[in-house]
């Protein structure tokens, strides 16, 4: 399979970044050249909002990414860093990053240059892997939540839970999030939030809830998972009672970030 290089800071990545990575992955294996904090300061004129280790961890958790290399030293925006060890076959950029200099660079080195347009990145498609119905011998684990401003804490939670079994995530629908959290919530619509969740490699499948209240995922949990896992702040009596009544193991995990990373909560990102 061909090697596709993408470059950038990937600071505070959102759905547009992930859509770009997904479309790039259709061209070949995506090798991300992610700028270090020093390179970001040099090219952007300010420090990144998130440190290099956190950005690296987040990108490594995206299923469309094959590997990530942190780029240090002198970097030009319109050239592929000379330190790259992987042979480059395709350089993929989005429309906003397209420049004549990049096109000329690729022509002079025999590298294919692909520009992904806004039209290419529209919508939040269901993941291709969801159509696969392969049998698994692992236990089924379900988690629920809003997953509004997506961050490294979510990825870490999914990583931990996926060690217990095949992970199914039920994302709260818009009306229920407003019911539980008030007007102004959620920041992102349900299809976009589901898309971000399903982009994480530790997630088997992402769904949107159809019920109401703290147990808005009750109709979805009717598929009878073996476990229902929550973080400490998501622990509710209603959830525990539901699991006891339906013979589902109820697991409460500590909110502990990946080693070396700061603790993150979506609430803290409002207005960020």
Q: Compute and round to an integer the Cα radius of gyration of the chain.
A: 20
| Location of each CATH 3.40.50.620 domain in the chain | 3-116, 128-269
**Helices within 173-262 (DSSP H only):** 174-181, 190-198, 218-221, 237-246
For residue 115, what is the DSSP state? E
Separation of alpha carbons 244 and 247, rounded Å: 5
pLDDT tens-place values along the chain, 272 residues long: 899 999 999 998 999 999 999 999 999 999 999 999 999 999 999 999 999 999 999 999 999 999 999 999 889 999 998 766 667 899 999 999 999 999 999 999 999 999 999 999 999 998 765 445 556 788 999 999 999 989 999 999 999 999 999 999 999 999 999 999 999 899 999 999 999 999 999 999 999 999 999 889 999 887 689 999 998 888 999 999 999 998 999 999 987 787 777 777 666 555 54
Of 3.40.50.620, 3.40.50.720, 1.10.287.3510, 2.120.10.30, the CATH number of 3-116 is: 3.40.50.620
What's the whole-model pTM score?
A: 0.88
Q: What is the pLDDT of residue 267?
A: 61
Homologous superfamily of domain range 128-269: HUPs (3.40.50.620)
Separation of alpha carbons 14 and 249, rounded Å: 33
């Amino acid at each position: 399979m061909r090697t596709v290089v993408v470059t950038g800071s990937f600071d505070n990545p959102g759905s547009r970044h992930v859509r770009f990575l997904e479309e790039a992955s259709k061209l070949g294996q995506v090798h991300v050249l992610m700028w270090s904090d020093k390179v970001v300061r040099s090219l952007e004129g300010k420090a990144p909002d998130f440190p290099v280790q956190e950005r690296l961890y987040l990108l490594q958790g995206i299923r469309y990414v094959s590997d990530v290399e942190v780029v240090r030293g002198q970097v030009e925006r319109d050239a592929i860093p000379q330190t790259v060890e992987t042979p480059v076959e395709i350089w993929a950029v989005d429309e906003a990053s397209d420049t004549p200099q990049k096109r000329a660079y690729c022509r002079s080195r025999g590298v294919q240059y692909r520009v992904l347009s806004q039209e290419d990145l529209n919508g939040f498609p269901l993941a291709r892997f969801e159509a696969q119905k392969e049998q698994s011998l692992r236990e089924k684990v379900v988690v629920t939540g809003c997953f509004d401003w997506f961050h490294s804490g979510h990825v870490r939670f999914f990583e931990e839970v996926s060690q217990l079994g095949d992970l199914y995530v039920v994302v709260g629908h818009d009306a229920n999030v407003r019911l539980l959290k008030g007007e102004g919530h959620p920041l992102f619509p349900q299809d976009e939030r589901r898309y971000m969740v399903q982009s994480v490699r530790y997630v088997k499948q992402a769904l949107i809830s159809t019920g109401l209240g703290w147990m808005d995922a009750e109709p979805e949990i009717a598929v009878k998972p073996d476990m229902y896992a929550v973080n400490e702040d998501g622990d509710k009596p209603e959830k525990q009672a539901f699991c006891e009544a339906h013979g589902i193991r109820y697991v409460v995990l500590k909110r502990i970030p990946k080693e070396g990373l700061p603790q993150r909560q979506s609430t803290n990102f409002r207005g960020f």
